């Protein structure tokens, strides 16, 4: 069974994810550990690759968030792309620029609607020297 093209980027699903992404960003920059962890799948299969870190499962994610101090930098977001596939799966990708480095950041998240709401099941963050 394949996904019908008319189920890609349903406006109501896209609006949900856009709002969630904005709330996630606020929690990230505010270092709200409980809120941040609530955005992620509470399962050992959760995977998050960071700039210089890796978390496999919610226990590692929570420990990482608790040990990470609040950011002392700001960040601007660029080229946010959210694509929804049906009503229960989406991918968010963006570029960001932090105020404390010339490196360009890249972030990807896979969101799935679970019984408890939308959760990030996989995430990847990287920063590179990029002039594109």
Pull the structure tokens for residue 31: 């270092």
12: phi then psi, degrees, rounded to nearest 5? -70, -35
The number of folded domains in the chain is 1
Q: HEC states along the chain?
A: CCCCHHHECCHHHHHHHHHHHHHHHHHHHHCCHHHHHHHECCCCCCEEECCCCEEECHHHHHHHHHHCCCCCCCEEEEEEEEEEECCCEEEEEEEEEECCCCCEEEEEEEEEEECCEEEEEEEEEEEECCCC
Residue 95 lies in domain? 5-68+75-128
pLDDT value for 132? 66
pLDDT, one tens digit for every residue, the chain (132 residues): 788 999 999 999 999 999 999 999 999 999 999 999 999 999 999 999 999 999 999 999 999 999 999 999 999 999 999 999 999 999 999 999 999 999 999 999 999 999 999 999 999 999 999 876
First-to-final CA distance of the chain: 38
Give the pLDDT of residue 131: 78
What pLDDT sits at residue 130?
82
- CATH code for position 15: 3.10.450.50
């Amino acid at each position: 069974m394949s996904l019908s093209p008319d189920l890609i980027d349903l406006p109501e699903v896209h609006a949900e994810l856009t709002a969630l992404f904005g709330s996630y960003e606020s929690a990230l920059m505010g270092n709200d550990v409980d809120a941040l962890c609530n955005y992620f799948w509470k399962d050992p299969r959760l995977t998050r690759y960071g700039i210089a870190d890796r978390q496999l499962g919610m226990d590692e994610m929570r420990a990482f968030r608790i040990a990470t101090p609040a950011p002392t930098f700001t960040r601007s977001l660029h080229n946010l792309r959210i694509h929804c596939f049906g009503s229960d799966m989406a991918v968010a990708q963006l570029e960001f620029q932090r105020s404390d480095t010339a490196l360009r950041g890249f972030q990807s998240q896979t969101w799935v609607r679970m019984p408890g709401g939308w959760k990030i099941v996989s995430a990847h963050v990287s920063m590179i020297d990029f002039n594109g």
